[in-house]
């Protein structure tokens, strides 16, 4: 069993460099299925979800070669249509092959996905949008089975700006006959990144970055070379780390415009945020002030940074209210934070966090990717030693997280079966 052993008390100082976004790379890998030939992806993060997604693509007939930060995906003229349970169960993002498979083969058999335990993320909006394009669906033996001999453009309104549904519908629509309009589409930077890749492949997409996407279907797409957008959640994690530990961290290869609200919250908490040529710097020399946070679809405060906001407020001066509007299961990690001495009470999708001078080290368990990172940051401001288990979650979203923190002066080590590595 692998664990992180964290000792509290250090002020983090130094520089880190952000890699490509975990929330984008899996989707652009799936998009490669839309064109015969070899697509090259650069700025690929070295996280365990990438090789898992590579196996999903290989199971569909593609050849994936290379290693982070650059991989090549070679797609044959004819691809399979079944994404098996063995790989899909491990990452929920793998369901994004549904749209490309329907567009390329007219059918898809995709295992219902697994992934983080952060709440229900039903595929209803995916199915509704693809049905509007002409697909029919069935659910049998743990698989979502779809057929669409001919996809046809349609007007689609999403009840909620779902990132996954926007991606799947868009990837199907680029090869559909006619024009598709997606209203109330997600606007996340990862959506923009996928749009830009599809444009590079020859897709015709208007309204990029807005809540209304207009897609004119084309007969064929071509392979391309695409640089994955920097990971705003990783960048935000290090920003919160600086504020929590009263340190100073320069975050390079990050796009400040993707984190405006999160960085503003840190300023409200008492941190200083400065612009760099290729990122930003966060410094804090005092105990943070409590700040209220409400998660919302982009450009609102990201749900993926909500655990970090609760962790910061747990050692802040004052009382904060944190409201989670995206995933009801995001609060699961609070029980672990309480083990560290956090004073947090929940009521439905609201959390009341009363800040304490410090936390106290204890054994805790990562319940998902971002919860694991937040518990590590909490351990850095706790008395004594904190041992975080189930760290495979963290490895799914953060490239060399331990090494990056060590470079900033964090007393953290990885252990495998109690052996230091």
Q: Among 227, 248, 269, identify where a domain stops.
A: 227
Domain CATH for 118? 3.65.10.10
CB 107 within 8 A of CB 98: no
Which is catalytic among the residues 49, 116, 304, 390?
116
Task: Say which DSSP state 269 is in.
Answer: T
Are residue 377 and residue 304 in the same domain, yes or no? yes
pLDDT at residue 342 in the model: 98
Domain boundaries, position 113: 22-227
CB 152 within 8 A of CB 177: yes
Are residue 312 and residue 406 in the same domain, yes or no? yes
115 pLDDT band, cuts 50/70/90, is very low
The Cα–Cα gap between 296 and 253 comes to: 25
Are residue 223 and residue 281 in the same domain, yes or no? no
Segment 367-387 mean pLDDT: 97
Are residue 172 and residue 290 in the same domain, yes or no? no
Tell me the Ramachandran region of residue 245: left when phi exceeds 0, alpha when psi lies from -120 to 50, beta otherwise: alpha
pLDDT tens sequence across 255-269: 999 999 999 999 999
Which pTM does this prediction carry?
Answer: 0.95
116 pLDDT band, cuts 50/70/90, is very low
Helix axes 232-244, 306-314, angle to 10 degrees: 0
Number of folded domains that form the chain: 2
The Cα–Cα gap between 198 and 102 comes to: 16
Are residue 175 and residue 62 in the same domain, yes or no? yes
Residues above pLDDT 90, as percent of the chain: 89
Residue 118, pLDDT > 80, answer no
pLDDT tens sequence across 6-50: 999 999 999 999 999 999 999 999 999 999 999 999 999 999 999
pLDDT at residue 377 in the model: 98
Are residue 271 and residue 130 in the same domain, yes or no? no
Q: Among 227, 251, 267, identify where a domain stops.
A: 227
To the nearest whole number, what is the mean pLDDT of the chain? Answer: 94
Q: Among 182, 208, 227, identify where a domain stops.
A: 227
Are residue 61 and residue 201 in the same domain, yes or no? yes
Number of residues written out for the chain = 421
Catalytic residue list contains 116: yes
pLDDT tens sequence across 178-206: 999 999 999 999 999 999 999 999 999 99
Residue 409, pLDDT > 60, answer yes
Are residue 216 and residue 258 in the same domain, yes or no? no
Are residue 310 and residue 209 in the same domain, yes or no? no
Of the candidates 314, 322, 374, 364, which has an alpha carbon nearest to the alpha carbon of residue 342?
314
Are residue 181 and residue 127 in the same domain, yes or no? yes
Are residue 222 and residue 341 in the same domain, yes or no? no
DSSP assignment string, 330-370: GGGGHHHHHHTT-EEEEETTEEEEE--S-EE--EEE--SHH
pLDDT tens sequence across 267-286: 999 999 999 999 999 999 99
Are residue 8 and residue 123 in the same domain, yes or no? no
């Amino acid at each position: 069993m692998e664990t992180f052993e964290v000792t509290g008390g250090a002020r983090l100082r130094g520089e880190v460099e952000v890699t490509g976004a975990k929330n984008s790379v899996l989707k652009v890998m799936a998009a490669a299925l839309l064109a015969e030939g070899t697509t090259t992806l650069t700025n690929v993060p070295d996280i365990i979800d990438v090789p898992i997604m590579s196996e999903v693509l290989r199971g569909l007939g593609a050849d994936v070669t290379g290693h982070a930060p650059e991989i090549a995906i070679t797609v044959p003229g004819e691809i399979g249509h079944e994404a098996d349970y063995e790989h899909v169960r491990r990452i929920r993002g793998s369901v994004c092959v549904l749209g490309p498979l329907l567009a390329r083969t007219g059918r898809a058999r995709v295992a219902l996905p697994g992934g983080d335990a952060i709440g229900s993320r039903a595929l209803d909006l995916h199915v509704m949008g693809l049905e509007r394009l002409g697909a029919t669906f069935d659910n049998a033996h743990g698989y979502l089975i779809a057929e669409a001999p001919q996809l046809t453009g349609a007007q689609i309104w999403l009840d909620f700006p779902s990132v996954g549904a926007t991606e799947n519908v868009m990837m199907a629509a680029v090869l559909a006959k006619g024009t598709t309009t997606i209203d109330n589409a997600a606007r996340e930077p990862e959506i923009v990144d996928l749009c830009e890749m599809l444009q590079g492949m020859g897709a015709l997409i208007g309204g990029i970055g807005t809540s209304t996407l207009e897609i004119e279907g084309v007969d064929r797409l071509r392979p391309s070379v695409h640089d994955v957008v920097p990971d705003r959640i990783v960048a935000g994690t290090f920003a919160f780390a600086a504020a929590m530990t009263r340190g100073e961290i320069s975050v390079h290869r990050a796009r400040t415009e993707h984190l405006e609200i999160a960085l503003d919250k840190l300023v409200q908490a008492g941190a200083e945020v400065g612009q760099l040529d290729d990122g930003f710097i966060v410094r804090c020399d005092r105990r943070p002030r409590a700040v209220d946070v409400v998660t919302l679809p982009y450009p609102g405060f990201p749900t993926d940074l909500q655990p970090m906001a609760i962790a910061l407020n747990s050692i802040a001066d004052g009382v904060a209210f944190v409201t989670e509007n995206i995933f009801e299961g995001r609060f699961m990690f609070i029980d672990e934070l309480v083990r560290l001495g956090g004073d947090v009470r929940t009521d439905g999708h609201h959390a009341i966090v009363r800040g304490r001078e410090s936390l106290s080290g204890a054994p805790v368990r990562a319940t998902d990717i971002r919860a694991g990172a937040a518990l590590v940051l909490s351990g850095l401001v706790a008395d004594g030693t904190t041992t975080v288990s189930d760290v495979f979650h963290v490895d799914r979203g953060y490239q060399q997280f331990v090494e990056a923190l060590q470079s900033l002066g964090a007393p953290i080590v990885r252990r495998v079966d109690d052996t230091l590595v």
